[in-house]
Structure 1
């Protein structure tokens, strides 16, 4: 059996990838509904609703729990990893996004001053707690459907 055939049979990895893919696809759809335009960058961009990071790690940890048991070392590692990623997505990365908004406003407001720079900073980096929660629920749902 080839590497690709073996990896294709990895249920946990399939849940993880599908959870990420669906979350990213939903970002494109939600942006289309909200902005009335197709923005395919949302498929690969970070931030937004739902959190694909949260969906991926909760899909992973739920699939590991379902396959290996909720008492297993593997589940303990996976859920710990998931909690760190989700905390970072709604904490540190969200703060960086807020700072980018302020810095971009400062750059726009530079009247009669020496230019600070012309390149805008990326503002949509982190997630609100609701976006993280929605992503987590999506990952849990996908894992329960597939495992």
Structure 2
């Protein structure tokens, strides 16, 4: 059974997004325990007018969630692009994962480099809400590929 955590910078998501997240997590439940956590604190809030300070605040907030016994993946536009089968292989190789989705300014290079991998979901820029949705769908798809579930045809 996979254990997957998704951390993103942001306040509580709107109900329309939450419903989609919950559906994808529920669909994945037979293959993985997936938890999502939005993080937003006073330090992040105070730093939003300065990109460097904001990225530092994101890094400081995410650091306690770095897995010492798992595989850490930063979502980053300069990261590696994988197709669904390569993503499934990544999931096959690692059963305990943490994904990190940055805020409006992205992630500090040092934080990205401290992770085991930088992953790009697309060359397009997207909000953390959409990135989380795409990631959750690809997690379900990848897990479906691994377990020969008919979702991925």
Taking structure 2 as the reference length, what is the TM-score of the superposition? 0.29
Query: Which of the pair has more CA radius of gyration?
Result: 1
Higher normalized helix content (fraction of residues): 1
Higher normalized strand content (fraction of residues): 2
Taking structure 1 as the reference length, what is the TM-score of the superposition? 0.29
